[in-house]
Amino acid sequence: MRGTRKYRHIIDTPDPGKWELAGYEESLPISEKSNPITREMDKADPNTLVQLLRDCDAEIFQEEDETIINYQRLYSESILKTVAEIAKKVQLIIENPEDGLIVLSGCGTSGRLALLLANSFNRLMKGLHQSPCYTYIIAGGDRSVVAAQEAPEDNPARGQEELKRVCEGKKKVVFIGISCSLSAPFIAGQLDFCMKNLDVFLPVLVGFNPVSMARNDRIEGWNSTFRQVAEQMQNLHDSQRAFVLNPAVGPEGLCGSSRMKGGSATKILLETLFLVAHKASSKVEVTEKCLLEILRTYERAHKVTYSQSKKIAALVKQSATSLQKKGHLYLLGWGTLGLVGIMDAVECAPSYNADWRDVRGFINGGYHTLENQEGALTSLGPQFTISHEDFVKSVLPSVSETDTIVFLFTMDDEVTEVEKLVELVKEKTSNIHAICHATAGQYLPNSTKKMIPNPIVITWPILFLEYEGAFIQKFQRELSSKWILDTVTSGAHVLKGKVYRNFIVDFAICNSKHFQRAVSVLQRLSGHPETRCTETLLQSIYGEQTEQMRNTEMSQHIRAAMSRDKEID
């Protein structure tokens, strides 16, 4: 499939990666390959770290190279065509919201993004006096939004139950199952259910591997693999009864960390799709040009964001210093930027085996601003306290000079509120940073500049757009903040020593994907065969090896690995 070639890039995308060549880590899907760009990442200084991750993020926008293996990319005609086709189906629901529903579902970061996107587009609809018709599902329920729960993603039956629950009584449902690595059994179960009920459901699978690279191992308690489900979906693609939307965006900068590029690409792809669907419902024709215009704004956001690389590097360094000294990184955000902060913070625990207290996110207005379905979860314990008031009450008293605080806001937020909180924090630590988004012509007040000496201020051009288009500005700011925070939290853990080359070597094994990744990392680092590496891993989980353990179900290994980690804590 050819690239569009109608497109002039705004950013310099790196040369097509070696990862695209036949034979490069052949047995692994793109999402689990190690990115050649970051091979020496563990030796990089903060400035280099930022450059490397910038180049990895730029790969999202890279076009296909016809001289080597052709993966579909974001700008491929086939992808743009699929986006336009799905948008038309979404449009039908938007125009008949009483009987219809658009469900976004995912696990971990993909589930948090499902919430963010569903809420954004419901807000867009409310502004147009239309009935909101988006909803989200996250594996493990709302508690997974603010605390990592990686185990529920292994449960396809649970995925189905949740889907049935949210769709009860609906006549037409567009179901968007997000699994960046085309691997989550929770999503496989839901897609399978949709395909058995095509009179109601239109299933869409979103991810960043070709179907031939979807996970193919047995799902416990289930009769098909993710790949089999994805293949069935693909067979229904031509008749438009199901869609697979899966451009390649290249391997993650940190091996397997799909919260990074996978998460960003999910946001770009789905926001573009829903935006054109809404434009279409206000009688604007969905054309390739219109899609390219929106995608171009995201590419511009990459350039604008990384023009601040020096300041981002300084924040990476400061955050790493805090973590190395057993201090903390606190991300205090306003509006949806608060959720972006929470998303980044929560993932540090499973990704780097970090303590949940190491990196934490807080949002003004807490659960009210989060707009999650289950409402306040504060009673579940300290891990679930997320408002700025909670921060002031229960965290601030113990904040010290070893901690770093990052404020995340836009100039349209109440800057005096930000100043009030900075004032309080200043009494405890001088390590105060900010990521602030402004529109051309808006300036940070001198009073704020005095309090936060070196803020990352990102100034966006004024866009004169119709109502739906105006949401692009908000989406750009969220993505820009995500890129910066992904770089800061990943970079800080690299500098803390959690990474060897670009392999995370200290991560929690909380689900079957993690187990397989651990085996694969062992294989690549030791050169030993899979069976031997599996045995080594089992030995480290159980402390001894018996025949019985080898024949035990995967879920038992995960439980044992998780309880072992708890003991070590």
Which residues of this protein are in contact with ligand S6P, per CB under 6 A?
106-110, 150, 153, 178-181, 183-184, 257-259, 262, 347, 350-351
Q: How far is the CB of 92 from ligand S6P (least distance, A)?
A: 27
Reading the block at residue 26, the tokens are 């052949």
For ligand S6P, the closer of residues 180 and 280 by Cβ is 180
DSSP 172-215: EEEEEEE-TTS--HHHHHHHHHHHTTTTTEEEEEE-SS-GGGS-
Residue among 6, 4, 7 at smallest CA distance from 78: 4
Reading the block at residue 125, the tokens are 């609809």
- Containing 503, the helix (H) or strand (E) segment is strand 503-504
Q: How far is the CB of 262 from ligand S6P (least distance, A)?
A: 6
3-state SS, residue 154? helix
For ligand S6P, the closer of residues 218 and 325 by Cβ is 218
Q: How far is the CB of 263 from ligand S6P (least distance, A)?
A: 7
What gap in Å lies between CA 81 and CA 451, rounded to an integer? 49
Q: How far is the CB of 555 from ligand S6P (least distance, A)?
A: 16
SS3 per residue for 424-437: HHHCCCCCEEEEEE
What gap in Å lies between CA 336 and CA 480, rounded to an integer? 12
Q: How far is the CB of 249 from ligand S6P (least distance, A)?
A: 12
Q: How far is the CB of 199 from ligand S6P (least distance, A)?
A: 27
The residue with tokens 């809404």 is 278
What gap in Å lies between CA 109 and CA 262, rounded to an integer? 9
For ligand S6P, the closer of residues 225 and 281 by Cβ is 225
DSSP 288-301: HHHHHHHHHHHHHH
Number of neighbouring beta carbons within 10 Å of residue 560: 17
For ligand S6P, the closer of residues 150 and 468 by Cβ is 150
Residue among 164, 177, 31 at smallest CA distance from 107: 177
For ligand S6P, the closer of residues 160 and 257 by Cβ is 257
Q: How far is the CB of 330 from ligand S6P (least distance, A)?
A: 20
Residue nearest to ligand S6P (CB): 108
Q: Are 401 and 430 in contact (CB under 8 A)?
A: yes
Q: How far is the CB of 514 from ligand S6P (least distance, A)?
A: 8
Residue among 94, 11, 20 at smallest CA distance from 57: 11
